Amino acid sequence: MQGHLDIQLIAIVTAVACALPGVFLVLRRMTLMSDAISHAILPGIVLAFFFTESLSSPLLILAAAGTGVLTVVFVELLQRTKLVKEDAAIGLTFPALFSIGVILISRFAGNVHLDMDAVLLGELAYAPLNRLNVFGYDLGPVSVYVMGTILLLNLAFILLFYKELKLATFDASLAATLGFAPTLIHYGLMTLVSVTTVGAFDAVGSILVVALIAGPPATAYLITDRLSLMLTLSAVIGSVNAVSGYWLAYLFDVSIAGAIATMTLLVFGLVFLVVPNRGLIAIARRRTRQKWEFAQTMLVIHLFNHERLPEAEAESEIAHLHEHLRWDPTFATQVVKYALNNRCVSQEETLLTLTERGRTVAQQALVQ
Amino acid sequence: MENLSILTHLDYTLMIVAIGAALLGAVSGTLGTYAVLRRQSLLGDAISHAALPGIAIAFLLTGSKTPLILVIGAAIAGWLGTLLILSIIRLTRIKYDSALGIVLSTFFGFGLVLHTLIQRTGNANQAGLDTFLFGQAATILESDVLTIGILGGIAIVIMLVFWKELKVLVFDEGFAASLGFPIRALDILLTSLLVIAIVLGLQAVGAVLMSAMLVAPAVAARQWTNKLSVMMFLAACFGALAGVSGTIISSSASRIPTGPTIVLCATVVVGFSIAFAPNRGLLWDWFRHQRNKHNLKMTASNLLKQPQRGSE
């Protein structure tokens, strides 16, 4: 039972720690920088591993985070030459650094016991085995403390520089004019992303970190327009993904990190489908309603135009409406039914007449 | 003696691998040109990662490890992933980068889940995840070269057939739409061609490095020319060059994996192009800057001299 709790705790702490800076990456359109960083830290990890021979030493985290920041600098330098666009700069930098890492590993694989899968895919199930012991007391898994510290660091940064981050994200030029140093904020954020990525790769591996960083904020972005709410929601959604992913993995006996990523996709898809106003269902319903509303307006305008004129009787014959309005006959009957339901028209035998309400609708539409 | 050892290294297997890598580099360089020009350089990264569940499902359904079946599975999953990215961008306010990141990582995660499921069934015939991630260029066989050649050739022929449509789509999408070209269909066609190039490369250089094979040759070629056709030809040459040189370098020393070496070779080509390409390159730019500075100085001093002459 302790194992269950430990793993879920690590998963939640990691997910929240990733989701918080992720919000700003999503809003600043820099999500792929996290993908680049998470791959490019490989040579940093390998080199630091040569010296420390442990995957959870603080030196390793620092070295890897340094490589992450270096990646950001490389990308910016490439962009600044104006010869390479941002996306291509990212696409050039991280595979090159990653390749160096892979070559280092296979060149010196005999001397070190660095498991490639552990770096790339992580294994959450083993994370609780590495425990923090102080004076013989078991204080829980080391990962919780490492990720917990990173989480607090992220939280502190966001709370301290909330106003600056907000302004630099939504209006970088205004932030620069007011002297808020958006470049400094940018590099601060990138350093945090690097540290977070390095801390998280131990648990979920470098590829799935992106799911934790981009997934919950993007899901929250579908729900809300407020930055503070988006941060809170991202943390909640990240935790939900982590816990449900863990139980999915437990149920089917599969990779925990993979299951958390799968849940991230499912939750995103579900929200995408049902969220009010912006969801797929809401969009589809709005489009249908607009279609009928528009047809009804066409109908009342048609009736209004011919009202009290000699041809009115011929023009308001239900059976011939489709000819006047060039509609499909079945569509025309449906529109008539829709308009009758809305009490915009009334039916007298085979003729349609406008109601008071229908007349107002027509007049309003014509004025517009 | 030195020459002899190099000659013995250039044996038949190596030649096959080199030809395969060269073909692959040429195909991905050609099609990557579009991705780079449309600022979709990282689409390749997304497609290659999204292909994993397709491979796993193809294996679970058929139980066979035949490359062609796995390639078809990979292609379908990569294609679905791209369609999902395109519809997320179209229907929500989520931007390209986030949509890409989500699809890339979660598809890969789902693939990982399926992979552990396959492992658990203890099937000895399982597809290796390491191979998917890093590729195994050394295992390229004659039949693989044939597959790369034929499928890559078909992709390039299709591209040539739609040359004018794709060109206008890449440079001015709005104009293409106003001319009545079916933008979305062309977009999907272009993506499908990319998917073909990517799944062909998965075996050789793997998912993680495939994006570099699409981006690097095209970025290098961009520095030398402003013409699409020339850029594409150069990108194909650079891709092939990186493929061959990477294969030879990695075979000349022990324990240097081929895929990463090819990527590093491509990166060197990019670095060289950015530094030395005429007109656009950094060196050229520096010279022009110096010359302008010099000219400005001369003009300024001439201007200063003139009033003195007038006062005499």
Cβ of A106 within 8 Å of Cβ of B256? The answer is yes
Show the domain range for A56: 2-276
Does A258 contact B113 at a Cβ distance shorter than 8 Å? yes
Per-residue pLDDT of chain A (368 residues; tens, 9 = 90+): 567 888 888 889 999 999 999 999 999 888 888 888 888 888 888 888 777 776 667 777 788 888 888 898 988 888 888 888 888 888 888 889 988 888 888 877 655 556 666 666 666 776 777 777 767 777 777 788 888 989 999 999 999 988 888 888 888 888 888 888 888 888 888 889 988 888 887 777 777 888 999 999 999 999 998 999 999 999 999 999 999 999 998 898 888 888 999 999 999 999 999 888 888 888 889 999 999 889 888 888 888 888 777 777 777 777 777 877 888 888 888 888 888 888 888 888 778 888 888 888 888 888 87
pLDDT at position B118: 82
Looking at this protein, which amino acid is placed at residue A220?
A
Q: Which of A91, A209, A218 sits opposite B45 (nearest CB)?
A: A91
Average pLDDT for residues B32-39, to the nearest whole number?
89
Q: Is A65:A191 a contact under the CB 8 Å cutoff? A: yes
Could you say which of A276, A302, A331 is where a domain stops? A276
On whether both A234 and A311 belong to a single domain, the answer is no
Q: Do B113 and A81 touch (CB under 8 A)?
A: no
For chains A and B, count residue pairs whose Cβ atoms are closer than 8 Å.
204
CB contact under 8 A, B282 and A81: yes
Tally Cβ neighbours within 10 Å of residue A46.
Answer: 24
| Rounded alpha-carbon distances, angstroms, from residue A312 to A279, A342, B16 | 43, 22, 83
Number of domains in chain A: 2
Test the A interface: residue of B106, B226, B282 with most A CBs within 10 Å: B106
Q: Are A98 and A225 members of one domain?
A: yes
- Sequence ranges of the domains in chain B: 2-306
Query: What is the domain-level CATH number for residue A116?
Result: 1.10.3470.10
For residues A271 and A299, membership in a common domain is answered with no
CB within 8 Å of A11: residues ≥ 6 apart: A124, A203, A242, A243, A245, A246, A256, A260
For residues A272 and A157, state if they share a domain: yes
CB contact under 8 A, B214 and A259: no
Distance CA A124, CA A11 (A): 8
Half-sphere exposure of A170 (CA within 13 A, CB side): 8
pLDDT of residue B124: 46
- Cα separation, A257 vs A150, in Å, equals 19
Q: CB atoms < 10 A from the CB of B62, how many?
A: 13
Domain-ending residue, one of A276, A309, A338: A276
Would you call A99 and B263 a contact, using CB atoms and an 8 Å cutoff? yes
- Residues of chain A contacting B102 with CB distance shorter than 8 Å: 211, 214-215, 218, 264-265, 268
Percent pLDDT > 90 in chain B is: 18
> Which residues of B are less than 8 Å from A222 in CB distance?
92, 94
Q: Do A106 and B263 touch (CB under 8 A)?
A: no
> Tokens 């014509």, residue?
A366
Which of A95, A253, A261 lies at the smallest CB-CB distance from B110?
A261
Q: What is the pLDDT of residue B8?
A: 54
Record the tokens describing residue A196, joined without a space.
Answer: 């977070």
ipTM: 0.85
Q: So what's the pLDDT on residue B1? A: 43
Cα-Cα-Cα-Cα torsion B197, B201, B202, B206, nearest 10 degrees, comes to -130
pLDDT of B185 > 80? The answer is: yes
Helices and strands (H, E) in chain B, number of each type: 13, 0
Check which CATH number belongs to the domain holding A289 and give it. 1.10.10.10
Contact A91 B208 (CB under 8 A): no
Q: Distance from A111 to chain B by nearest Cα, in Å?
A: 13
**Is A150 found in the same domain as A38?**
yes
Q: Is the model's pLDDT at B212 over the cut of 50?
A: yes
> Are A293 and A299 in contact, with CB atoms under 8 Å apart?
no
Same domain, A217 and A268: yes
How far, in Å, CA of A329 to CA of B182, rounded?
31
Whether residues A197 and A297 share a domain: the answer is no
Do A287 and A184 share a structural domain? no
- Topology adopted by domain B2-306: ABC transporter involved in vitamin B12 uptake, BtuC (1.10.3470)
Is-contact A34 A213, C-beta < 8 A?
yes
